[in-house]
Amino acid sequence: MNTSRPPLKPLDEALAELLAHAVALAGVEAISTFEADARVLAADVVSSLQVPPEDNSSMDGYALRVADVPQAGVVLKVSQRIAAGSAGQALEPGTAARIFTGAPIPAGADAVVMQEDCEALADPAGCIKVMRPPQPAQWIRRAGEDVTRGSTVLSKGERLTPASLGLAASIGMSVLSVARKPRVALFSTGDELVMPGDVSPAEMRPGAIYNSNRFFLRALLLRMGCEVSDFGIVPDQRAATLDALRSASESNDLILTSGGVSVGEEDHIKPAVQQLGSLDLWQIAIKPGKPFAYGKVGQAHFIGLPGNPVSSFITFLVLVRPFLLKLQGARELTGPVMSMPAHFDWPRADKRREFLRVQRNAAGGLDLFANQSSGVLTSAVWGDGMVDNPAGQTITRGDLVRFIPFSELI
């Protein structure tokens, strides 16, 4: 019997292999722009108008001709009042128009002087004294400076943000075409798992643990725009596992589990997936998060994450997240990486690529959480990101390291 362990697979190789299995899901949805946050666009958004539609004022003040105010102290009659949403008349020479932010610039005016730089006069009544000569185009927002007619303002494959929803609304888009949500079945396995609320801490039996992974995995899936079917805790029985997998595969695009994927581990998930489809067990050269599984059950993808909570959390971010984004046709699959100074020492180089939980500090550097164990979920709560540290690399205080903020991933 061959008991040798498979070689460690580099993370980039594992990710490329995993993404090769991910094909963008068929079908799109037309949904309200109000509801489209974090969804992936299925079609370009092209503007049928320009924004702003006409030149308008960016300040409360007075629209006038620069030529009429060659020096400070010029007095001009206020000939009209223009509020946002209304249109003024052509500006009479030698006069000013009282104007408010967002109001269209009247024909003939070529600058706006903000009200703080003008003095309203009682004598002569209805006039202002301009205290500071304007520059041409001062405080004027030009028509089309934000969006030009016929331009693509949002591109297919773009993951929508609150700002992009506002941009879509600014060109009149009340409905957007987005990729359909991936349907994901979430499994928990293991007789040691207990749900919070079912058993009090004082009554926990020896060896039992609360099922924390189920909570953060479900939350991560929802933030990724998935439709989640939570199958709860499946009993450690072959028949129950087979039934749950069959049921999940019929109506879901992905089955996601945590635990039971270490090499040599005895459990029912591995043989059940193999019986119903196919399964590859990988040992990935990362820390935390070495054990990982990919397979198929019917037409559904299967991904098995490690059971330790931090390992499960990290492998979701670096492997499952890009997989889900590709299923939705997203262009950008990985988050941005920042170069920041380490304000700690890490003298123990590991043969695996490490993801160290860190926190940005007021001095512009990164502090390290003291306990980097794969079972210490506190590190992922305290930390606001992780250092992507290459295999075999030590870190000395002051070194520039690769920092990935959690805020860009979840």
* The predicted structure's pLDDT at residue 197: 83
Which residue type sits at 233?
Answer: I
Q: How far from 283 is each of 5, 13, 349, CA to CA, in Å?
A: 9, 12, 19
> For residue 192, what pLDDT is reported?
79
Q: What is the CA radius of gyration of the chain?
A: 30
Q: How far apart are the first and last CA of the chain?
A: 43
> CATH: 3.40.50.1000, 2.170.190.11, 3.40.50.2300, 3.30.300.10. Which one for 56-141?
2.170.190.11
CATH of region 28-47+152-179: 3.90.105.10
CA 388 – CA 142 distance, rounded (Å)? 44
- Name which of 355, 358, 357, 362 is nearest 390 in CA terms: 355
What's the rounded Cα separation, in Å, for the pair 239 and 218?
A: 25
Whole-angstrom Cα distance, residue 294 to residue 15?
11
Phi first, then psi, for residue 324 (nearest 5°) are -65, -35
Q: Where are the domains of the chain?
A: 11-26+181-327, 28-47+152-179, 56-141, 338-408
- Nearest one of 107, 60, 68 to 84, comparing CA atoms: 60
Asked if 188 contacts 268 with a C-beta cutoff of 8 angstroms, the reply is no
- pLDDT of amino acid 265: 53
Q: In 10 A of CB 115, how many CB atoms?
A: 16
CA distance 294 to 292: 7
Task: State how far the Cα of 36 lies from the Cα of 175, in Å rounded to an integer.
Answer: 9
pLDDT score for 183: 98
For residue 211, the model assigns a pLDDT of: 82
Which pLDDT does position 46 carry in this prediction?
97
The DSSP string of 371-409 is ---TT-THHHHH-SEEEEEPTT--B-TT-EEEEEEGGGT
Question: Which pLDDT tens digits describe the chain residue by residue (410 residues)?
Answer: 455 666 899 999 999 999 999 999 999 999 999 999 999 999 999 999 999 999 999 999 999 999 999 999 999 999 999 999 998 999 999 999 999 999 999 999 999 999 999 999 998 999 999 999 999 999 999 999 999 999 999 999 999 999 999 999 999 999 999 999 999 999 887 777 777 888 888 888 888 888 888 999 999 999 999 999 998 888 778 888 899 999 999 999 999 998 866 655 556 788 899 999 999 989 999 999 999 999 999 999 999 999 899 999 999 999 999 999 999 999 999 989 999 999 999 999 999 999 999 999 999 999 999 999 999 999 999 999 999 999 999 999 999 999 999 999 98
Domain 338-408 part of CATH 1.20.120.80: no
Quote the CA–CA distance of 77 and 18 in Å, as a whole number.
72
- Look up the CATH number of domain 11-26+181-327: 3.40.980.10
